[in-house]
Structure 1
């Protein structure tokens, strides 16, 4: 039939600690513990390829988190990555296989398609891209409704699905580009955060960068102010002697001011002393004057008596 089927197991599957088993995936998809809506990251829950490259009709059902696809060279592992990229709108040039989308149609077939089911909070969304051999573009459908390329791009972008992120999709043709990216650790970190980090992690990263820059600015400003303070302290120490002289001069000026205030009081005291001395000299003169007036009065009386005789 041309279909690729997994080989039948030769013995019962063993559950190994630390390794996911099919039963784990089935339990998780069948109603096991789901992440809360606030921390939920959309993930691809189903990929179906019809007449796509090496597959006639094949389905892969990944689970959330890390999925490993193991097989020998040429077994079609890379085809699943190609299917994700083409199914979500990547160009053939980016994938690195041909120039038109129709080149991904299986040989000897006229049409092919890729269906990508994405699990988002509350529902599953299935995007189907129908391809025609040898032709560009293709028709997009979302849950059976015809959509434009732009609408698909908007949906993919709105759910933080970055097809160009090499930490999301690393094809063999892009290993060299990834090597270049690995040579720039800050850029690689941002790609890795966008691929596996929780929602808002890139914004938090940008905020940390801004805070670190602000911290550096504050530290530089602090160092500058410390240097300025040290310079001012040195100036203060060099001016201590001058300050002491100025303090002494101020004290002398204050003493002079107080002494000048005492001068009028001293003058008043001197005048009082002089007045007391003058008063002491005036009293004998007054007594002499009184005695002279008494003698004059007596003499006038005697003179008047002589005239009467």
Structure 2
């Protein structure tokens, strides 16, 4: 009887109508600069190449660089699994146990995303998530922790998984979208997308929920527009033809006046050029006079320097002559004195 009751309850759960589909919201940056859905914190333990990793990306562009085998793809796998993705999404392994580091029995991944409003709360490791994010934003992060067991194909989630997945939809996080999440093992699948499929996936990944709907409406209205254009061509009346004739006449008149307009435009260009050349002529005259003044000034400085050098040479040459004159006067005086004494 208990078994029958359990089966009846199970059938009732299956027959129950699904919960209403939530509507994605417009994404805006919070006080700390994080957009809802940005990774606030990620923590790995015994996951693939990592023994222990904890980091807090910033709110803007984040780029992971490293050589081959350094763990870049491992980080992508960790983000996907922490966001409750099925291992098959990654195209690497069907069991979560394959992602546990070799030699370890278990591992875990934990991720915190910027939330959509201050009332978003979850629990992790038996402690409450504060309502304020690490960056000081008023939006509480969405937090999810997933434990991976190597001995089991399943994993253990800490926290309510369904509300977390609903919140991912609300902030436009779609793990099956190759444009938004492209693991290394799904590159071939991404390359096979047609341009139309690539555009549709890109629109979903942009984060604006109304964009795909608007695109479909645009396609429908484009078809309607083409139908109206065809009807307009079929139902074109004599009045339309008369307007076309009037348009042709105006075009012919415009062609006749075009030459006059070109002459006027050419004249305006020449007048502007003449005005510019006049201004430039005055400037060139100024430059020439300035150059002449600089050359004359340099010549003046050169002549002054030569005069000073000549004066110095003159003074130097006068000095021996003066000395000879003094000696001559001295000899003359001595001669007179001697003559007087002899007389």
CA distance in 1, matches of 2:199, 2:150: 39
Q: 1:223 aligns with which of 218, 230, 233?
A: 233
| Structure-1-length-normalised TM-score | 0.55
Is 1:125 aligned with 2:142? yes
Mark the runs of 5 or more structure 2 residues left unpaired by the alignment. Answer: 1-28, 117-138, 242-343
| Structure-2-length-normalised TM-score | 0.50
Match of 1:51, SS state, is: strand
CA contact (8 A) 1:110 1:133 kept: yes
Q: 1:61 aligns with which of 56, 61, 75?
A: 56
Distance 1:202 1:61, change over 3 A: farther
Is 1:208 aligned with 2:218? yes
- Counting only pairs closer than 5 Å after superposition, residues 185-200 of structure 1 correspond to structure 2 as 185-200=195-210
How big is the shift at 1:118? 0.7
- Counting only pairs closer than 5 Å after superposition, residues 35-114 of structure 1 correspond to structure 2 as 40-114=35-109
CA contact (8 A) 2:172 2:207 kept: no
CA distance in 1, matches of 2:167, 2:207: 19
- Deviations for 1:56-78, whole angstroms, at most 9, x for unmatched residues? 11023233454221100000000
- RCO (CA 8 Å, sep 6+): is it higher in 1 or 2? 2
Mark the runs of 5 or more structure 1 residues left unpaired by the alignment. Answer: 1-28, 234-309
How big is the shift at 1:175? 1.1
Corresponding residue number in structure 2 for 1:236: none
CA distance in 1, matches of 2:30, 2:202: 30
CA distance in 2, matches of 1:218, 1:206: 18
- Deviations for 1:15-48, whole angstroms, at most 9, x for unmatched residues? xxxxxxxxxxxxxx9955x47xxxx542222211
Match of 2:41, SS state, is: strand
Match of 1:140, SS state, is: strand
Is 1:135 aligned with 2:147? no
Alignment size in residue pairs: 191
Corresponding residue number in structure 1 for 2:175: 163
How big is the shift at 1:151? 4.1
Is 1:153 aligned with 2:165? yes
Match of 2:167, SS state, is: helix
CA distance in 1, matches of 2:173, 2:195: 22
How big is the shift at 1:225? 2.0
Match of 2:144, SS state, is: strand
| Structure index of larger Rg | 1
